[in-house]
């Protein structure tokens, strides 16, 4: 079901740190314009949309005329603050609404409860940007699942949510007139760092338990591996799900400053990010492009600076 895509760059070149720096300094992903895409009548959910790149994503979706925006957060107070920020910056159009829904990626119950609520959306859910991601500064085990927290949030809960959303898309498609069913859209937010993952755990048996061992944990390596796993999952699920049901892709915002992701990582990381990072609104352009502009060719693929990349 995935289409063969050719690239103007090899995976090895794409993964090099030099290419990463080139993208950071010279990459200029364009914002999707309303002339190209009008989201009137559509409903979108963006997870972790109360700050950083997620907040910029929802701002851009509203600019494209999105009718119903659902800001998905683990802390509803922060979600309400984000809603106020958005409405203070720009008056909503008469048909536009913003809701704040709770979802804590640390809990499967929370993921399931969120999906049940999304199942009742009317007329239907159209777009999901799975943006939530953490990069813990110290080894932390999730108290309920027992899994290491980066893996829990960035991979396990993300793919559970993706599968539950696919079920919703499938149900909606079966109950909607064929002429009214454009495919659902799911974007899994990834990172340049996925390409640098050593993924040492791949040779361990059992593999999943190897991720929960403190002695072999490394902060950057773990984050990179969780993002790589997300890419591998998207590539595989796309072979099993028709793009006529949902176009599923990964997208990387590039290194962005103004973020909380590195708040646990100290001064050196903060200086590095400020020196080499881009602003969150530029990072968000690629996520929105992957969600609303990339076509079926992006199914199972990776989008960077608004372009399909290996
Ligand atoms: N920033 C970058 O340079 C960069 C680069 C490549 C990829 N990415 C990816 O882009 C996405 C957004 O990154 P960002 O930098 O914008 O994020 P961020 O500013 O670091 O924000 C972190 C967010 O994660 C939320 N969060 C933490 N644990 C959570 C949980 N268990 N359930 C739900 N939400 C939780 C936090 O919520 P609270 O406010 O409640 O704590 C906060 O909103 C992530 O997937 C990240 O991996 C970022």
Q: Which atom in ligand 1 lies closest to the alpha carbon of residue 104?
A: 32
223 catalytic, yes or no? yes
182 catalytic, yes or no? no
In the sheet where 184-189 sits, what is the strand order?
Answer: 97-102, 68-73, 43-47, 127-130, 184-189, 246-252, 302-304, 307-309
pLDDT of residue 173: 84
Beta-carbon count within 10 A of 74 CB:
18
Q: Which CATH architecture has domain 11-309?
A: 3-Layer(aba) Sandwich (3.40)
275 catalytic, yes or no? no
Measure 226 CA to ligand 1 centroid, in angstroms. Answer: 14
User: Which one of the listed residues 51, 67, 107, 190 is annotated catalytic?
Assistant: 190
Mutate to test the pocket of ligand 1, among 24, 53, 110 (most ligand atoms within 8 A of CB): 53
- pLDDT, tens only, 9-62: 898 898 899 999 999 999 999 999 999 999 999 999 999 999 999 999 999 999
- pLDDT, tens only, 56-94: 999 999 999 999 999 999 999 999 999 999 999 989 999
Q: What pTM does this model have?
A: 0.96
- pLDDT, tens only, 201-230: 999 999 999 999 999 999 999 999 999 999
Residue having the nearest C-alpha atom to atom 44 of ligand 1: 133
């Amino acid at each position: 079901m995935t289409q063969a895509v050719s690239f103007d760059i090899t995976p090895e070149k794409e993964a090099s740190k030099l290419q990463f720096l080139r993208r950071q300094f010279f990459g200029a992903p364009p914002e999707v314009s309303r002339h190209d895409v009008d989201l009137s009548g559509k409903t979108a959910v963006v997870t972790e949309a109360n700050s950083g790149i997620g907040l910029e994503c929802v701002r851009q979706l509203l600019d494209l005329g999105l009718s119903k925006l659902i800001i998905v957060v683990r802390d509803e107070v922060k979600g309400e603050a984000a809603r106020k920020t958005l409405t203070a910056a720009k008056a909503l159009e008469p048909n536009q609404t913003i809701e704040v829904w709770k979802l804590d990626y640390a809990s499967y119950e929370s993921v399931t409860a969120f999906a049940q609520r999304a199942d009742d959306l009317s007329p239907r859910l159209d777009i999901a940007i799975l943006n939530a991601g953490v990069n813990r500064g110290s080894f932390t085990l999730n108290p309920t699942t027992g899994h290491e927290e980066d893996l829990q949030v960035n991979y396990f809960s993300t793919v559970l949510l993706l599968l539950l959303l696919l079920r919703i898309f499938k149900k909606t498609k079966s109950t909607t007139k064929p002429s009214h069913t454009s495919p659902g859209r799911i974007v899994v937010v990834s990172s340049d760092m996925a390409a640098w993952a050593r993924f040492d755990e791949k040779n361990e048996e059992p593999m999943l338990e190897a991720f929960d061992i403190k002695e072999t944990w490394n902060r950057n390596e773990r984050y990179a591996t969780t993002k790589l796993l997300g890419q591998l999952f998207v590539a595989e699920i796309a072979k099993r799900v028709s793009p006529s049901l949902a176009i599923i892709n990964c997208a990387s915002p590039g290194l962005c400053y103004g973020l909380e992701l590195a708040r646990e990582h100290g001064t050196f990381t903060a200086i590095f990010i400020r020196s080499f990072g881009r602003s969150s609104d530029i990072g968000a352009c690629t996520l929105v492009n992957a969600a609303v502009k990339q076509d079926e060719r992006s199914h199972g693929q990776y989008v960077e600076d608004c372009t399909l990349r290996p």
